[in-house]
Amino acid sequence: MRRTPHGRAVATGALVAVTAMLGVGIQAGTGTAAAPRPGTTHAVPRPGALPAKLSPSQRAELIRVAGATTARTARLLKLGAKEKLVVKDVSKDVDGTVHTRYARTYDGLPVLGGDLVVHRSGNGALKGVTKAVRSQITVASTTATVHPAAAAAKAVKAAQALGSKKTAAAKAPRKVVWVADGKPVLAYETVVGGLQDDGTPNQLHVVTDATTGARIFQYQGIEKGVGNSEYSGKVNFGTSGSAPNFTMTDPTRGNHKTYDLKHGSSGTGSLFTDADDTWGDGTPQNAQTAGVDAAYGAQETWDYYKNVHGRSGIRGDGVGAYSRVHYGDSYVNAFWDDSCFCMTYGDGSGNNDPLTSLDVAGHEMSHGVTAATAGLEYSGESGGLNEATSDIFGTSVEFYANNPADPGDYLIGEKININGDGTPLRYMDKPSKDGSSADYWSSDVGNKDVHYSSGVANHFFYLLSEGSGAKDINGVHYDSPTYDGLPVPGIGRANAEQVWFKALSQYMNANTDYAGARTATLQAAADLFGQGSASYNTVANTWAAVNVGSRVPDGGGVTVTNPGNQTSTVGQAASLQIKASSGTAGALTYAASGLPAGLSLNASTGLISGTPTTAGTSSVTVTVTDSAKKTGTASFSWTVNAAGGGSVFENSDDVAIPDAGAAVTSPITVNRTGKAPSALKVGVDIVHTYRGDLVIDLIAPDGTAYRLKNSDPYDSAANVKTTYTVNASSKTASGTWKLRVQDVYAEDSGYINDWKLTF
């Protein structure tokens, strides 16, 4: 589905170190799936739509097969001659459905923002495609006007403006095609190294137009966020070796290793070793204690993804990441770095409060999962979704752990006490309690720091898991509000986790915004529970509860869009499409009473058509019935004027509409005295393969434009065959009127077949 192109907020201030420390871990061997609280019931997902547990070798084989057929897949998707596909990730459902995520290249250049997911059934049949952008990729030339050194210099200045230290381009800028905003642009991507203002390593990605030198976009690549642990009590975790040479290497989880940086800020440091395999003493003064917490958090995050989502490791390839503790001096942060595939933890203020709690581990390592799947850009609304995803799965890991020393909750960072007053960093039930996060979506939410814009999705997940209103869970009191003041029931945390993971791994992409996240989670809910099911409707209503989209009708009822009063003329063909929707899956049935003589309604499609035979005014009522026998109605009047009561002027010459090109016009010369009517009828017949591409205007003889139709990137239906009504009473009727049509998106095309004016 086409995503609406949208502006992206470019970060203008340093990331807030306090909110960069988030995540959750779990206790090995004691993990349990989230169950409904006593007294509640929730729907069970369709088993076939749940993720299959793939071994690394099974996943590798699926990737090999997909990689061997990329050229055929590109042809099937009608990509351009210079476009190629590169397999990025693959997942499989229990019913055999395979979801393959591809990156694109154009003439050998990486395409940023052009990723797509192909969905195939178990027998290989194409089920659908989820695209970041629908555009075919094409640029006038791949020869840059701007020199790479100029792009690098601009990128370094951008990093310095954010407070970066020891700043320099990590490597020469690479030439790319940037398409995340909908229009392909030849660009440079420069990665700036050094340190951020708080000592965190810097990986600022700056995208620069290779023709004009203008900065297009930027985002930060570093995503913050028996042993005796400090936060989780006495725990068991994987080690290797034998006395007196045990090491913190977990052989059952991809050989994850835990290193001691000893307050350095580069390299891996020293692998933790111990003589008797009993590690740490639960205090920050013992260097091993932070290592215990980090290793425990890593192993439990691994177990959560494997046991709940069938994912073997962060990338799904069975390879373990590694962890580094005791980074820097009094470094109040923790971060995931995808370039080293590693987690790094500071020791906090005065080196007394290591940021190695379970939720930090789960949060930060989930950034790696996001990078390996949707790759949500760390800026604007997609950056907020990236951060929220880590909060969501960090919280999920904490509940899964079932560790009595750190019970599951919807509080973020409650153990590490960064604020110094014992309060959490963030609250999922009411994010604004932290003083900065957004409870609900607004048009400027993407301008917030990503840790605060994440509040919208965090709030959604809490409401989807638990529902609104006051309740107590594991000793914590919550009272979650909704934007519209209406309650939502929740579907249970286990179901909410499955919805979010499926949406992330199979339907989101790098530049998904909140509207796109709603679409992705609804598709995931349709797969898991059925379109129009109670759980599907709850997902839609929960998004409405955080001001993203609208609620569906209560109880799965039918909504009929009132088309407004209609006017026709005896002897002239008329048509009207009735639009309706239902929260219940299945076909709709249409019926009507009071239609003017000569008109009839198609019971299956809802199209009213025919040629009126008798003048007069009728009261029309349309009734729509869904598969559950629920109904909705719309009533309106239909006036039929006598023949000769109006004049029809028509142009039936075809006019080609160029794909993503300039506007075209079709003229009609009107020879009629006096003013145009207040209900001027504009009949339009346009043939087009994706009508949402089109913007349509009526141009009066004096040049005044009347907008008939805006573009709609989500309206994928074909053709525009309808009649618009325009109040043109201030204009002289005589003269040349024009129908102006422009295709504003690439990939689809069509032509003006016919249009007419009825005065």
| Burial (0-12, 13-18, 19+ Cβ within 10 Å), 520 | buried
Distance CA 391, CA 607 (A): 47
Rounded to whole angstroms, how far apart are CA atoms 383 and 457?
11
Name, in order, each residue with C-beta under 8 angstroms of 121's C-beta and a sequence gap of 6 or more.
96, 97, 127
b/e code 159-182 from CB counts within 10 Å (16+ = b):
beebebeebebbeebebbbbbbbb
Q: Report the C-alpha gap between 651 and 186 in whole angstroms.
A: 41
Contact by Cβ (8 Å): 345, 278: no
Alpha-carbon dihedral sign for residues 283, 287, 290, 292: negative
C-alpha 513, offset from chain centre: 5
Cα distances from 1 to residues 551, 715, 749, in angstroms, run 21, 9, 17
Collect all residues with Cβ–Cβ distance below 8 Å to 50 and sequence separation of at least 6. Answer: 93, 94, 310, 498, 528
Phi and psi torsions of 696, nearest 5°? -125, 130
Report how far residue 555's alpha carbon sits from residue 583's, in angstroms, rounded to the nearest whole number. 7
Helix, strand or coil, per DSSP, at residue 221: coil
Rounded Cα distance between 306 and 316, Å, is: 9
Among all residues, which ones are annotated catalytic? 364, 451
Instruction: Find tokens 């750190």 and name the residue.
Output: 406
The candidate with the shortest Cα–Cα distance to 536, out of 192, 21, 46, 47, is: 46
Q: Which residue in this structure is represented by tokens 């998707």?
A: 77
DSSP state of 439: S
Q: How far apart are CA 220 and CA 11, in angstroms?
A: 9
How do 648-651 and 705-709 pair as beta strands?
unpaired
Of 709, 708, 710, nearest to 700 by C-alpha is 708
Judging by beta carbons within 10 Å of its beta carbon (0-12, 13-18, 19+), is residue 88 exposed, middle or buried? middle
**Which tokens belong to 599?**
């008109």
Kindly provide the b/e burial profile for residues 188-216, where b requires at least 16 CB atoms within 10 angstroms of the residue's own CB.
bbbbbbbbbebbbbbbbbbbbbbbebebb
Per DSSP, the three-state class of 23 is coil
Distance in angstroms (rounded) separating the CA atoms of residues 534 and 522: 12
Token pair of 692 as six digits: 């949402």
Distance in angstroms (rounded) separating the CA atoms of residues 32 and 304:
9
Strand partners, 575: 609
Answer for the pair 184, 159: CB distance below 8 angstroms, yes or no.
no
Contact 138, 121 (CB under 8 A): no
